[in-house]
Amino acid sequence: MSTGTRQVVAVVMLCHFIAAFAALGMPPFFALILQRSLHNDVPWLAGAFYVVPTLLAAVSAPWWGRLADRFGKKPLLMRAQLGLAASFLLASYATNSFAFLAALVLQGVLGGTFSASNAYLATVASGTTLTRSLTAMQWSARAALVAAPACLGLWIGAESPIVLYRWLALLPLVAAALIAWLPAGDAAGAAKRPAARAAATSAAAPATPRQIYVLQFAFVFATVVTFPYFIPDMQQRMPAISAATAGLLFGLPHLVYLAAAPLLSRRLGLAPSLGLLATAYGTLVITLLAQAAPLGLPALVAWRLLMGTAMTVGFIALHALVASVVHAGNAGRTFGWFESSSKWGGVVAGLAAGAAVSLAGQRAPYLFGAALLAPAVAYLILTARQRMSTL
């Protein structure tokens, strides 16, 4: 990766982090906002509002991606940051639940900084460089997921916590200003040779874009389905552990990604590999099944660490597959659908987790996630063997 490309990736990572810091940091405090700022004590609203931006992003991401391919990745990336700023500002002035809901709808429709950032990166990087860049972008998202709730929790003690959105609106504005100084990317060159580059990438790719979207959906579902009820499950299994310890157990896989992704991406993200993805998915299935069994704290820590390693390798392998099918001319559309499949995986996982727990108890999401991911493992192994036999 050249120095210029490395600097561009660093700026895009920083811009995504500060935008995601607000977008991912505030939802855990929705119940507090509804109670203190909007005087609404309906218990299920916080969970419903939590899903709204994700659901709308899943619907709108492919559309924004097509516009990025038509009008340029950089303008659409700036649009996403400014859209977040506008939605945060509107949320800060909400005086009732309906106005707050409207702001969350706008956040889902006008945001999409992750897919927009990835699409822009595809105009300045390709191949293994793009794979590492995508892994770095996922790193910034995980870092925001870990850091934002803790940091915002220190600042949200105000009488009306919703006002914090007013200050958070400044973050995507700063990001948009930084992006304005970035190069426009290779949009012109891509327009001159889209057919040649598309033919080259499709010839080298071991999977089609639609197959990658389905594999991404299964991966996200299998991991996210365990999120909503993990801490209550831990406190039920081990009543002696504190909420902080349960929270640390929850965050362990994400911390593993933050620690391991930079190193593993240099070693594993060199070429697209269905076998590598099958190994990651298969290991993830085993860790999910293991966590559904009665475990002591040391064993649970070990399985969570292994789950984090499998997640890290899975993301790197997925990024390599995406990099094999994307080029500057189709990056917006490709990453729009890639982000959409991820968001749909999260939405369906949240709904499935609630249904599974109500029917079969708090350990059911682990089994549900493993059951959905197992066919993907079988498909990857079969396809990898078929490809090897034809070589």
pLDDT tens-digit readout, 358-369: 888 888 999 999
Q: Distance between CA atoms of 135 and 269, rounded to whole angstroms?
A: 9
Structural domain contains residue 206? yes
> 30-34, 289-293, 298-302: which range is least confident on average?
30-34
Mean pLDDT, residues 221-231 taken together: 87
Please give the pLDDT value at position 201: 46
Tell whether 41 and 100 lie within a shared domain: yes
Q: Among the three residues 137, 152, 185, which one is the final residue of a domain in this structure? A: 185
Span 233-239, average pLDDT: 88
* Segment 27-68, tens digit of pLDDT: 878 888 888 899 888 767 877 888 899 899 999 999 999 999
**Token pair listed for 251:** 């965050």
Q: 207-216, 282-291, 327-336: which range is least confident on average?
A: 327-336
pLDDT in tens, 16-29: 998 888 888 888 78
pLDDT of residue 2: 66
Contacts of 174 (CB under 8 A, 6+ apart): 18
Task: Over range 270-298, report the average pLDDT.
Answer: 93
Are residues 23 and 151 part of one domain?
yes
For residue 193, being part of any structural domain is answered with: no
Residue 194 lies in a domain: no
Given pLDDT bands bounded at 50, 70 and 90, which one contains residue 203?
A: very low
Distance (Å, rounded) from C-alpha 42 to C-alpha 29?
14
Same domain assignment for residues 269 and 153: no
Instruction: Look at residue 226 and give its three-state secondary structure.
Output: coil
* Boundary residue ending a domain (154, 185, 216): 185
Q: Does residue 113 sit in the same domain as residue 210?
A: no
- Residue 1, pLDDT > 60, answer no
Same domain, 58 and 143: yes
Greater model confidence, 142 or 199: 142
- Would you say residue 126 lies in a domain? yes
Is the four-CA dihedral 60, 65, 71, 76 of positive or negative sign? positive
Is pLDDT of 384 > 70?
A: yes
Same domain? 15 vs 156:
yes
Q: Say if 264 falls within a structural domain.
A: yes
Domain co-membership, 258 together with 334 = yes
- Number of structural domains (the chain) is 2
C-alpha 19/C-alpha 85 separation (Å) is 9
Residues 340 and 221 in one domain: yes
Centre a 10 Å sphere on the Cβ of residue 191 and count the other Cβ atoms it contains.
11
Indicate whether 332 belongs to any domain: yes
- What lies within 8 Å, CB to CB, of 372 at 6+ separation is 218, 221, 222, 225
Find the CATH number of the domain harbouring 205: 1.20.1250.20
Q: How far apart are CA 155 and CA 174, in angstroms?
A: 20
In a domain, 362, yes or no: yes
Q: Which domain holds residue 153?
A: 3-185
Please, what sign has the CA dihedral across residues 162, 168, 172, 173?
Answer: positive
Cα 356 from chain centroid (whole Å):
23
| Percent of the residues in the chain that have a pLDDT greater than 90, as a whole number | 50
Both 18 and 160 in one domain: the answer is yes
Burial class of residue 386 (count of CB atoms within 10 Å of its CB; 0-12, 13-18, 19+): exposed
Please write the tens of the pLDDT for every residue from 155-198.
Answer: 776 568 899 999 999 999 999 999 999 988 654 344 443 444 44
Give domain status of residue 191, yes or no.
Answer: no
Domain shared by 251 and 214, yes or no? yes
**204 plus 164 within the same structural domain:** no
- Report the distance separating Cα 233 and Cα 36, nearest Å: 28
Token pair of 295, please?
A: 């475990």
Per residue in 91-134, pLDDT (tens digit) is 999 999 999 999 999 999 998 898 999 999 999 888 888 888 89
Final residue of a domain: which of 161, 185, 209?
185
pLDDT at 382: 93
Instruction: List pLDDT tens digits, range 62-97.
Output: 999 999 999 999 999 999 999 999 999 999 999 999
> Shortest CA distance to 331 belongs to which of 208, 219, 217, 187?
187
Flag whether the pTM goes above 0.85. no
- Asked if 225 and 313 sit in the same domain, the reply is yes
Q: Give the whole-angstrom CA distance, residue 181 versus residue 184.
A: 9
